[in-house]
Structure 1
């Protein structure tokens, strides 16, 4: 008897996903992959299909899943417009180094190169923003190529992979064995590199550690903390990776990103050794490549990264170590500590600078966002997940919220607006026991606000905070700096966001005074269903 009965391509693909441990798919359905939907019908208890309202929302949900779990987020969309809508999630996954696989229904092989309806060459479209793009033209090669996709998405510097699925291939029948579950292959540091790292650290007078990037887990963060404490080092987190180190810890001195504390920026410039673990040292983390000089920084630089291609890409470091975060952190934790007497006093000073940067600032209007942040910090549980997209409103979160534990922050380093809403929904669906709060500006929210329908459909009880100042705030800020008095294109006329939420079946309230926020938050947290609070801010706040 043949142990591998004939199966159509859609069934082979779904079996492959199950074999690789996939438990969630985020999708907008399309007739181009009906065979996959048919196969999913019989496995809904083991593989949950989350149907979204727009492919940008689905792709962002898959990306957030990848961030949250460390496993590839899976997204299915249809060809043409579906793929172009999903591209924003692929771009975010690429810049944020998030494992993700986007499956795209493709025109049948009899229509290729005829500019058929919604036909696109996905290799050319996604090539610059994915680790690998391929098309599966034969059903018997599905297990092989899907296995390759998982390995590519998780190897080295993690990132997105795109696979196109011709419609007739999915309906074809094949007899083929399933591939075994993928095995991530981490890179380990060498003994000579570790000896050099310790020697350089021991000789330093003003060291500073910057941590960031993907590939971390709870154990790696605990090992990192052990290394930091053993050597009494000041540590900062790269842009939107603030949850890699407990912000309440006395050695934590702030985040290195947009709106960086000027005192922290000065410390980075004056450091004689920068130990960068996992961060790419991209534009946001380096303040536009000004904190470190290109190509040879003034500071001695040790750069540790999982992607060999990233090392030496912009900065010629004194020591470059190609290593994945989990084995690197474990090795650092076991490294004999050095004498920290030379920099001991600077740790407390750096911490004091961080705390001073969080003091209350006066803003106009009846709703004080500093007070809002204090309420959230006091009320939310330690493992609450906070998500956001892009905009000036996010500065309140980055500057004033102290992320306590790993994977409490989901935010795009790509600077993509519209990320916070779908990311929060995905987080609540995947980990329903945790409190999830989404921060979104008025402009940011409406880029994926339709996914409130998804939240209601799957009872994802997220609390959405819509910070409404009636404008595209970041763009307005730069506009007024560069072209004073010439406002154009940045003013918004918004709906009643609370009524908008209620129309979907969610809770909706409007908050315009500071004293009203705390009780409104309590009602939202207790609602047991999605809840939206519109926070009406003075435009100058």
Structure 2
């Protein structure tokens, strides 16, 4: 005989859950109590449900096992939706548990009542409510399976308060067998024949379901075939960027040569990626519905293949078995694309040389120095903003997993993601980049980092504005500034008020000593960069965007 809360927690243990990110609520006190005696699951107390959900998403992205967030009824659930959307857009396995009102009060507009299916139905792989305590384990197992299967994503399970306190006899749910879809021999034979005939092939990596084995396999395949490989938007850690076959990032500010190669490829091999708007240049580099390229689309979900682009060779497969099959393939005797690969690699390497921006603190030099300074296993996180373009251009990701960045463009993600990364990998350096506007979306989670003694480093790019929006505003309505200027706190004092260390950098030369001190710290460190507002992007100043002649 167990309480519903104990049944839930026991099933979480079976599912491999190691941390639950939560803002506690009275609706699930029985579940929290059941965690008291469980030594394998940490309850990470967060300061906002959005931060908790983003932490769970980051944990799922890093490990491949669904990250778990636990929040309460309507206010908690609606706050958590920001992290659920990140998981939906990024195809990240995640489970959101929501404590609900008692079953007998449903449909009466009771205190904090919410319709979970209406709320999350459009952004979750699955939404369910366990209304019988005997079925809690079964429904939690269903949620985990839905989060992992096909195109991974978030699953949401509602738990009425009274089923968590009920005492019943119930069995744990068994784990489903692990079956990753593998490519058929016929598919691989056809792909090999098409590659043998190709002159301008390009491989594009992205999506979820990646792991260390897939990364090793793709490097072996790329090296054997000497084929150019690019990463999709914010998926740069899928291959060591130092590899001679890695040719860059198909994201914002894509290298011109890579863009031309993507448009002009005669065979485009897409692995795990859904071909997003950003990666395809608003669906212009790869045309819809039928691309100019011969499109080979390898993806674990049949719904993702053909959703926007019609593939010539659709292959329903997971990343690991597909890349393993690629690594075993024999290359053709003639590889007509050798010059293409060399040219693209040379262009990528040229793009790593910093373009000078204005101001006494140059973001390009900061990022390049961090890339040189950190060990290969460092994890880099960021939210959304123009500052992130400097990270994507000048940081070289050296192994998987090392990048946590929302393809949804969600602000506030960097700090929560860094917290989850340090909890999952305590021995690896974790660096969070954030803009001044981005940080204050979830800045209260500094308290979480301090509470758990997590020595993460937060680098704040402070230019006193919502930079991305200001850039577009100046481009469309030059000189008419409305709603994009920020008055910020003293970020160093802000960090210190939580118990973290804080430093301000006003000169580029002062950054590296401050960063080295931060790497030695035993507590969170925030480094504020005072940036020139004119240095709005990697390539242009605000004045140039406005079209000022002077």
TM-score by length of 1: 0.98
Report the Cα distance in structure 1 between the residues aligned to 2:333 and 2:310, rounded to whole angstroms: 27
For residues 142-175 of structure 1, the C-alpha deviation after alignment (integer angstroms, 9 at most, x for no partner) is: 1111111111111111111000000111111211
State the partner residue of 1:169. Answer: 163
Shift of 1:263: 1.6
Report the Cα distance in structure 2 between the residues aligned to 1:360 and 1:33, rounded to whole angstroms: 51
Task: Return the match for 2:29 from 29, 34, 46.
Answer: 34
For residues 461-497 of structure 1, the C-alpha deviation after alignment (integer angstroms, 9 at most, x for no partner) is: 1000000000000011111111111110000000010
Task: Return the match for 1:228 from 202, 214, 222.
Answer: 222
Task: Return the match for 1:13 from 4, 8, 11.
Answer: 8
Shift of 1:347: 0.9
State the partner residue of 1:206. Answer: 200
Gaps of 5+ in 1: 1-5
Paired residues of 1:231 and 1:339 also in contact (CA < 8 A): no
Shift of 1:314: 0.4
State the partner residue of 2:423. Answer: 429
**Bigger shift: 435-444 or 373-382?**
373-382
Could you say what secondary structure the match of 2:381 adopts?
A: strand
Does residue 61 (structure 1) correspond to residue 55 (structure 2)? The answer is yes
Does residue 498 (structure 1) correspond to residue 489 (structure 2)? The answer is no
Paired residues of 2:225 and 2:335 also in contact (CA < 8 A): no
Report the Cα distance in structure 1 between the residues aligned to 2:359 and 2:14, rounded to whole angstroms: 55
Superposition map of 1:332-411 within 5 A: 332-411=326-405
Does residue 269 (structure 1) correspond to residue 263 (structure 2)? The answer is yes
Report the Cα distance in structure 1 between the residues aligned to 2:387 and 2:335, rounded to whole angstroms: 40
Paired residues of 1:365 and 1:537 also in contact (CA < 8 A): yes
Does residue 445 (structure 1) correspond to residue 439 (structure 2)? The answer is yes
Shift of 1:389: 0.4
Superposition map of 1:53-452 within 5 A: 53-452=47-446
For residues 75-134 of structure 1, the C-alpha deviation after alignment (integer angstroms, 9 at most, x for no partner) is: 000011100010011111011011000000001111101111111100111000000000
State the partner residue of 2:501. Answer: 507
Q: Structure 1 340/150 Cα, relative in aligned 2: closer, same or farther at 3 Å? A: farther
Report the Cα distance in structure 1 between the residues aligned to 2:335 and 2:117, rounded to whole angstroms: 55
Could you say what secondary structure the match of 1:447 adopts?
A: helix
Paired residues of 2:196 and 2:335 also in contact (CA < 8 A): no
Report the Cα distance in structure 1 between the residues aligned to 2:177 and 2:139, rounded to whole angstroms: 15
For residues 289-345 of structure 1, the C-alpha deviation after alignment (integer angstroms, 9 at most, x for no partner) is: 111111011111111111110001100111110101111111111122223431111
Could you say what secondary structure the match of 1:240 adopts?
A: coil
Could you say what secondary structure the match of 2:204 adopts?
A: strand
Find runs of 4+ consecutive structure 1 residues off by over 3 angstroms: 181-184
Task: Return the match for 1:458 from 452, 460, 469.
Answer: 452
Could you say what secondary structure the match of 2:141 adopts?
A: helix
Report the Cα distance in structure 1 between the residues aligned to 2:177 and 2:24, rounded to whole angstroms: 30
Paired residues of 2:501 and 2:524 also in contact (CA < 8 A): yes
Paired residues of 1:470 and 1:491 also in contact (CA < 8 A): yes
TM-score by length of 2: 0.96
Report the Cα distance in structure 1 between the residues aligned to 2:240 and 2:225, rounded to whole angstroms: 16
Shift of 1:184: 3.6
Could you say what secondary structure the match of 2:65 adopts?
A: coil
Paired residues of 2:8 and 2:136 also in contact (CA < 8 A): yes
Could you say what secondary structure the match of 1:29 adopts?
A: coil
Report the Cα distance in structure 2 between the residues aligned to 1:379 and 1:362, rounded to whole angstroms: 20
Paired residues of 2:381 and 2:404 also in contact (CA < 8 A): yes
For residues 503-531 of structure 1, the C-alpha deviation after alignment (integer angstroms, 9 at most, x for no partner) is: 00000010010110011101111111100
Report the Cα distance in structure 2 between the residues aligned to 1:263 and 1:336, rounded to whole angstroms: 28
Shift of 1:182: 4.3
Report the Cα distance in structure 1 between the residues aligned to 2:239 and 2:274, rounded to whole angstroms: 17
Count of aligned positions: 535
Paired residues of 1:20 and 1:182 also in contact (CA < 8 A): no
**Bigger shift: 356-365 or 271-280?**
356-365
CA RMSD after TM alignment: 0.9
Paired residues of 2:237 and 2:400 also in contact (CA < 8 A): yes
Paired residues of 1:269 and 1:291 also in contact (CA < 8 A): yes
Shift of 1:391: 0.5
Does residue 516 (structure 1) correspond to residue 471 (structure 2)? The answer is no
For residues 374-419 of structure 1, the C-alpha deviation after alignment (integer angstroms, 9 at most, x for no partner) is: 2102211110000000000000110011101111101101110000
Paired residues of 1:154 and 1:184 also in contact (CA < 8 A): no
Gaps of 5+ in 2: 536-550
Paired residues of 1:79 and 1:106 also in contact (CA < 8 A): yes
Report the Cα distance in structure 2 between the residues aligned to 1:518 and 1:267, rounded to whole angstroms: 36
